Structure 1
């Protein structure tokens, strides 16, 4: 990471239109069709499939995207052929200085765009005692932006992950429409 010179260009744009907010991912508005999404992101190697059995809808994923000038893995989820959720996963920074800077830059850019977060767990702790850092911005449109950084220690290895979730209010239906298979 290029430290302070990193220019985060948030494609999750908030455009005021009265009391509502328009959420987008790199220029693609939420609610766009899978075809429109693929056309707008043709150079990013997205591959689309039906969602795994534990979910609903369709997923388009790419391991060769960038977001905010950082390499990322991205999954765009569609329900009824409408973009409802984008999950962006970032690789851990190269060192401790970049580690702290990444969180500071990412969350300050989100705060500049969306104001003060409505939920803050900085730091928080899971029921297993693992640390996590999470900030959530709930928008008037019921869309949400969540930045989460967590560490898990398992079998002597440390897993560190940073995710940015951009979700429209329709993303709530991803959970409610899933029906477990009959046993």
Structure 2
């Protein structure tokens, strides 16, 4: 399979048919890696798609390849890039990078002044974030919105997060701040 055949774009309402497949792959991938992940429902994925806040990768024949979405916090002061997942058959082919770039560009387009953050335990996502100009930061540098941290409740590491007062956990927090000089190059 050539990556050039993969179509990466902002998700359309017709793409809601992939919601269950996306959620199932997110959970299966977390189990295989032995890492925590905040569970998402098919309904939440559908909502992101309908809001125009999701990116999808598919093949011309309609095969689902990958997905990510964005969420806003603190009245748009912060945007999180979340839920990046690629179907196993398409990993290590540049698809995640294309999705990440597209959701990042969508975030910058919709919320040009927002700080964009990502928390992850995945080295590949950290590398992608770094290439886009994200820097590792302390948790207090990202949103303090309690609704964001509530989303972590379904993660196996949530007790660690709580025991640390939501100041750190096993995930690495990374931030893109558009006001920083290095952000002008992203």
Structure-1-length-normalised TM-score: 0.28
Give the structure with higher Rg (CA): 1
More helix by share: 2
